[in-house]
Chain A
Amino acid sequence: MKQPYLFLRNEQEHKVIKFVNVSKTYPNGVEALKNINLEIYEGEFVAIIGLSGAGKSTLLRLINKLIENTGGEVFFDGKSVTKAKGKELLNIRRQIGMIFQGFNIVKRMSVLSNVLSGRVAYHPTWKTILGLFPEADKQIAYRALKRVDILEKVHNRASNLSGGQQQRVAIARALAQEPKMMLADEPVASLDPITTVQVMDYLKKINEEDEITTVANLHHVDLAWKYATRVVGVRDGEIVYDVQMDGMKKSVFYGDLEKVYGRPIQHDEILGDE
């Protein structure tokens, strides 16, 4: 299956992310992404699925230039990410929140310090080095923690929290940035099934209530079906599936995916019954 599914969108709708002929070849010769053309619209919750090594992580990291593309151009909000450098790049990044499979929270610091570090790009360096955040920032941090229902842990050391709680602190850190967009790289892969649903619920809530465009790499296809408004399937560095989830039946979805993965969906790719 070579052609991505095309769907009609109002061209006036705001494109938050635009990939134009983007490709990424690593120095060792591996062609991770080939000629990607993709547009992500404001308010969407996009789930990216595909086999490991298909290019999902690379795709996500090209958005905030954690990885540099070798061909084509990436646009955020109309500005070129590919060409952005220095302060310009930092200003783009502060508008994009990112959470990771490994949470990437600083375990030795308090929850509050961790969430406040989401604000560093908004203040001069000498202030953030000394930890001089204005009271307004602290309020932003408290509110972010409240949105993920973990405010009571505000002064705890991050290492004292469970995996699910640490991921919520990571989400709070991203929220503290007051971002336009949220990227999630396998956010629930290290969590147990119940915490997984919890975290995914938070991501969905933030996406809908705060209108933060969300792009998430997901391993479990049923999570993609349940939470996303649109699912993009990547295979061998190309987009082979791009469909709105609006009213899509689960069985039809799984049938589609068989063609994406080239084989029936396997056990470990389904999280289980709710």
Chain B
Amino acid sequence: MTDNILIKKKRDPLKTTLHTVYYIVVFGLIFWGFNGIEYKGIMQTAASSMKALWNGFMNPDLVYATNATIDGLPYAILETIAIAISGTFVSAIISIPFALLASQNIVGTKVSKIGKLVVTMIRTFPELILALIFISVVGPGAPAGILALGIHSIGMLAKLFSEAIESMDLGVKEALESCGGNYFEVLFRAVLPQVSPELISYTLYRFEINMRAASTLGLVGAGGIGAPLIFAIRTRSWSRAAVIIIVLIITVTIIDQISGRLRKKLV
């Protein structure tokens, strides 16, 4: 047998130190995180509550589910859907000018950077607070929720729209400019038609998310299924809470399926 081959591995000291630092930082953070959470005597009461919750799911409150009046579940769900639809639609329209202002190939680098920052700021503003602000404007109920969703969704839609605009094929825009189109003509006959399938797809995606958000906003009084749900949970009316959750999951899943299929047909 021939002699063994000796291979020396070249270790880059800088890279190794950096990697070690990364790992220490990450694990340190996670460790610090675990330390900060209290785990007191949680489990004792938990067992009985979980049992009660399970019972609630086994015996859902069907009376509430079939109550066709304004106090019943179907109305609340419909209101939630209505909030989501209106909010998303409002947002989609308003997002377009924001998106244009954030797109580098439309307004240039400097302006688009500001536009992007504004959009990020909107995205970070908590929906709940937005809902509260709007409640003070139009009073409690669904319209506040619509406004809150509408404004907050701009954060995501404008960002996605601007990404679509920035990655679009410039040829169409050039063609229209070269034959003498002015700014708005180019906008409406070249840019927007080009990206509209993507815009619609993103809007549908945002609608899916807004369905979930709409059910939460009711919590602070902005209408929809949120308020009855949180109320049921807080008062430990597990049967009612269970039926709401079940119907909510079914509704959102159905909407997701429909939306998903529509989106596939667009792209």
Q: Touch between A and B in complex, CB under 8 Å?
A: yes
Q: Mark A89-132, 1 if CB is under 8 A from B, else 0.
A: 00000000000000000000000000000000000000000000
> In this assembly, does A139 line the interface, its C-beta being within 8 Å of a C-beta of chain B?
yes
Query: For the complex, is B50 an interface residue (Cβ under 8 Å from A)?
Result: no
Minimal Cβ-Cβ distance residue in B for A151: B5
Q: Which residue of A lies closest to B4 (CB)?
A: A139
Across chains A and B, the number of contacting residue pairs, with CB separation under 8 Å, is 13
Determine whether the beta carbon of B10 is less than 8 Å from that of A155. Answer: yes
Q: Enumerate A113-165 residues with CB–CB distance to B below 8 Å.
A: 135, 138-139, 142-143, 146, 151, 154-155
Q: Is B18 an interface residue (CB 8 A)?
A: no
Q: How far is the CA of A151 from the CA of B4 in the complex (A)?
A: 14
| Chain A residue contacts of B9, Cβ below 8 A | 155
Name A152's closest neighbour in chain B (CB-CB): B7
- Interface range on chain B: under 10, 10 to 19, 20 to 34, or 35 or more? under 10
State the majority secondary structure of interface residues on B. Answer: loop
> Contact between A139 and B10 (Cβ–Cβ < 8 Å)?
no
Total residues of chain A contacting the partner, CB 8 A:
9
- Minimal beta-carbon separation of A209 from chain B (angstroms): 14
| Cβ–Cβ < 8 Å partners of A146 in chain B | 5
Which residues of A sit under 8 angstroms from B10, Cβ to Cβ?
A: 155
Restricting to A153-179, which residues have a CB under 8 Å from any CB of B?
Answer: 154-155
Name the CB-closest residue of B to A146. B5
Complex interface: chain A residues within 8 A of B5 (CB): 139, 142-143, 146, 151
Nearest chain-A residue to B11 (Cβ)? A155
B7 partner residues in chain A, CB cutoff 8 A: 138, 142, 154-155
Scoring B residues 1 to 28 as 1 if CB is less than 8 Å from chain A, else 0, what string do you get? 0001101011000000000000000000
Complex formed: what's the CA distance from A139 to B2 in Å? 11
Q: A139 — which chain B residues lie within 8 A by C-beta?
A: 4-5
In Å, the complex CA distance between A181 and B4 comes to 25
Interface residues of B in 102-152 (CB under 8 A from A): none
A138 to B7, CA, bound (A): 10
- B9 to chain A: closest residue by CB: A155
Inter-chain CA distance A181–B56, complex, in Å, is 64
Query: How far, in whole Å, are A151 and B5 apart by their CA atoms in the complex?
Result: 10
Most A Cβ at <10 Å: residue of B4, B5, B10? B5
Q: Please, how many angstroms separate the alpha-carbon atoms of A155 and B9 in the complex?
A: 7
A142 to B7, CA, bound (A): 9
Give B192-203 as 1s and 0s: 1 = Cβ < 8 Å from A's Cβ atoms: 000000000000
Bound state CA distance, A139 and B6, in angstroms?
Answer: 9
The distance in angstroms between the C-alpha atoms of A142 and B6, with both chains bound, is 9
The complex places the Cα of A151 from the Cα of B7 at a distance, in Å, of 10
Q: How many angstroms between the C-alpha atoms of A155 and B4 in the bound complex?
A: 18
Shortest Cβ distance from B6 into chain A, in angstroms? 9
Q: Which residues of B contact A135 (CB under 8 A)?
A: 4
A16 to B9, CA, bound (A): 40
CB within 8 Å of B: which A6-35 residues: none
Q: How far, in whole Å, are A109 and B5 apart by their CA atoms in the complex?
A: 21
CA–CA, A146 and B7, complex, Å: 12
- A residues within 8 A CB of B4? 135, 139
**A145 CB to closest chain B CB, in angstroms?**
9
How many Å from the CB of B145 to the closest CB on chain A?
46
Give chain B residues whose Cβ lies under 8 Å from the Cβ of A138. 7
How many whole Å from B131's CB to the nearest CB in chain A? 45
- Complex Cα distance A146/B10, Å? 19
Chain B proximity of A131: nearest CB distance (Å): 14
Nearest-neighbour CB distance to chain A for B13, whole angstroms, equals: 15
Q: Shortest Cβ distance from B37 into chain A, in angstroms?
A: 32
Residue on B nearest A143 in the bound complex, by CB: B5
Question: In the bound complex, what is the Cα–Cα distance between A155 and B10 (angstroms)?
Answer: 8
Residues in B neighbouring A154, C-beta threshold 8 A: 7
Distance in Å from the Cβ of B208 to the closest Cβ of chain A?
A: 33
Once bound together, how far apart are the Cα atoms of A146 and B4, in whole Å?
A: 12
Distance A11 CA – B9 CA, assembled complex (angstroms)? 51
Min Cβ gap A154→B in Å is 6
Task: Give the CA-CA distance A155 to B11 in the complex, in Å.
Answer: 10
CB distance from A87 to the nearest CB of B (A): 29
Closest residue of chain A to B1, judged by CB? A139
Query: Residue of B at shortest CB range from A138?
Result: B7
Question: A119 to nearest B CB, angstroms?
Answer: 16
B147-205 interface (Cβ within 8 A of A): none
B3 (CB) vs chain A CBs: closest residue = A139
10 extra A-B contacts, CB within 8 A, seeds A138-B7, A142-B5, A143-B5: A135-B4, A139-B4, A139-B5, A142-B7, A146-B5, A151-B5, A154-B7, A155-B7, A155-B9, A155-B10
User: Can you list 13 pairs linking A and B with CB atoms under 8 Å apart?
Assistant: A135-B4, A138-B7, A139-B4, A139-B5, A142-B5, A142-B7, A143-B5, A146-B5, A151-B5, A154-B7, A155-B7, A155-B9, A155-B10
A residues contacting B by CB (< 8 A) are 135, 138-139, 142-143, 146, 151, 154-155
Residues of B whose CB lies within 8 Å of any CB of A are: 4-5, 7, 9-10
The 4 closest A-B pairs by CB, nearest first: A142-B5, A139-B4, A155-B9, A154-B7
